[in-house]
Amino acid sequence: MFGLGTTELIVIGVIIFLIFGAKRLPDIGKGLGGAVREFRNIKKDLGAKEKTHDKDKNQGQKIPQGLEDKLAEKVLDKVPGVKKAMDVKKKVEKVKKIID
């Protein structure tokens, strides 16, 4: 698994436990699990759509940018800490626009 051994995973787990605390870990786990589930569902949908289209027409075609944005939003909504950070980032960008 990415070249990580047991001791490295234990150290990472302890650091995460110290940073977020015991109360936040279940929420983070649920968020990450939901994000992975949503990613798999979208991947299945894309695979099914590509199979139905003619393969000659789809060669060299990229995934539409809108789909990537939707996937990113769903993943960010599932992880509590990331969602708050993105909200703060949006507010900072708005303030920068007002100042400039």
Tokens read off for 64: 């539409």
For the chain, count helices (H), then strands (E): 4, 0
CA dihedral sign of residues 50, 55, 61, 62: positive
* Prediction pTM value: 0.42
* CA 41 – CA 24 distance, rounded (Å): 26
Percent of the chain with pLDDT over 70: 78
pLDDT-derived band at 4, boundaries 50, 70, 90? confident
Q: Is the pLDDT of residue 20 over 70?
A: yes
The secondary structure element, H or E, covering residue 8 is helix 6-52
Confidence at residue 56, expressed as pLDDT on a 0 to 100 scale: 46
